[in-house]
Amino acid sequence: MSTSYSLQSQSVIIGLRKHYNEQTGIMNCSSSLQRKEQKKENFCGHTWILANNIARFLTFGQDALADTFYSVGFVMSLCQLLSILELFHIADGIEKARLLPRFVQVMEKNLLLILVIMLEEIQSKPVVYVQFFLWNILDLLRYPHELLCVMQTPTITMMWTRYTLWIPLYILSAINEGVTIYQALPYTEPVASHSSSPVSTHTLLPSVLMSCLPILVLGLFVQK
């Protein structure tokens, strides 16, 4: 009697373990598909932005620099909002990466984009074109490698290309972000001087971005 009860208990435990493994496998597969779709969407978005910028520059020359934000700003905003999902993937353990460097990079990009959206005077500056160009190149180096990792088919060539070219491009991007903020400061100060609030958003946002730049550079050395 006890032997039969023990065998039944073991069979129940084995069945529960099998069911748990199946559910875990389904969840892992679903998470992998979500990551893959998110990275594919971002990759397609950045590819379209880069192709659009290059085509307009080859067609209109320097005149194309003035309307960069009006042409691709909406799609760039969508891509940057989608990149916030990566933070949740890392926090949930779906993606293996360091949370703090990625958080600084993602939020600094979004804050800088908000600054450009708020200030129409800065939208026609050439630094916006350069910044969007560098952001797209950086993400187009990163997303193909991460997609191959998700599909478990990474290549040494892609990994080498990403981590080698990424370093100088990242430094140039950080420098250009500083130039963008510096050029935006004259347009924020008059607004702040006429503001009734002791701390204006237009003044606070560039200050926050300037304080993030050293951390952004530090992220270069701790990025996975």
Catalytic site positions: 170, 177
DSSP 6-20: HHHHHHHHHHHHHHH
CA 201, 77, 222, 224: dihedral to nearest 10 degrees?
160
d(CA 14, CA 119): 62
Nearest Cα neighbor of 49 from 70, 75, 69 is: 75
Nearest Cα neighbor of 56 from 160, 133, 134 is: 133
Do 45 and 135 meet the contact criterion of CB atoms below 8 Å apart? no
Q: Copy the structure tokens of residue 47.
A: 């590819």
- Helix, strand, coil percentages in the chain from 3-state DSSP, rounded to 5: 90, 0, 10
